[in-house]
């Protein structure tokens, strides 16, 4: 069992803006550990605090390092079970506190994204192909990092959560509504099975 329950769309709490973190203490580090536990239990590669009803500017991620053509076919927050040992061996484990994108490329890339808050739903989303992000680590130290490929997608996706946005907000109304209907149907089917 994971440390936290993940909020599922259309839960209104997913739309809340997250607050800046100012205290970097053992309680925060425990929250981070619990978020990683929750993310791994859900077989995800990224999780924002907003998704577990903690409205602070905090994300965790463990992004597989793979060639661009393979990364392109992976869903943003869904780690393939058979690749889990490879991911553990070659991944980019990150904690981003108070993150902000300070630069992004004009070039866009499309990746098939999914989300632990929209289980089983995926869609192609266009985002800047390269970014530079400024953030603090779990001790409050300021950091900057450049990212491209799946890591850039994951960072942008998780930062969106901190602003109350979901990947479906980047889609056309028709595509968004289709995903929302499919999600509602799958939730209803799961409830009738239980």
pLDDT tens digits for 78-87?
444 444 444 3
pTM of the model: 0.86
> Residues 91-137: pLDDT tens digits?
779 999 999 999 999 999 999 999 999 999 999 999 999 999 999 99
Given a cut of 90, is residue 11 above it in pLDDT? Answer: yes
Supply 182's token pair.
């499919």
Q: In 3D, which of 126, 122, 131 has the Cα closest to residue 110?
A: 126
- Distance between terminal CA atoms of the chain? 18
Q: In 3D, which of 135, 133, 171 has the Cα closest to residue 152?
A: 133
> Residues 15-51: pLDDT tens digits?
999 999 999 999 999 999 999 999 999 999 999 999 9
Whole-angstrom distance, CA of residue 59 vs CA of residue 69: 26
> Quick check: 121 and 179 in contact, CB under 8 A?
yes
Fold designation for 12-193: Peptide Deformylase (3.90.45)
What pLDDT was estimated at residue 80? 43
Band the pLDDT of 69: cuts 50, 70, 90: very low
> Binding residue per annotation — 115?
yes
Catalytic residues: 158
């Amino acid at each position: 069992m994971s440390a936290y329950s993940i909020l599922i769309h259309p839960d209104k709490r997913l739309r809340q803006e997250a607050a800046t973190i100012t205290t970097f203490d053992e309680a925060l580090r425990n929250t981070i550990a619990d978020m990683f536990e929750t993310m791994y239990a859900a077989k995800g590669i990224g999780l924002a605090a907003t998704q577990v009803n903690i409205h602070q500017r905090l994300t965790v991620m463990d992004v597989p390092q793979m060639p661009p053509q393979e990364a392109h076919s992976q869903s943003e927050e869904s780690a393939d079970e058979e690749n889990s040992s490879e991911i553990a061996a070659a991944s980019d484990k990150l904690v981003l506190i108070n993150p902000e994108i300070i630069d992004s490329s004009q070039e866009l890339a499309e990746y098939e994204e999914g989300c632990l808050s929209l289980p089983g739903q995926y869609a192609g989303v266009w985002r800047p192909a390269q970014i530079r992000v400024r953030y603090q680590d779990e001790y409050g130290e300021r950091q900057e990092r450049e990212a491209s490929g799946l890591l850039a997608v994951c960072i942008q996706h998780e930062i969106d959560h901190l602003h109350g946005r979901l990947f479906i907000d980047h889609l056309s109304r028709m595509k968004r509504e289709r995903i929302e209907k499919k999600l509602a149907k799958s939730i209803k089917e799961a409830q009738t099975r239980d």
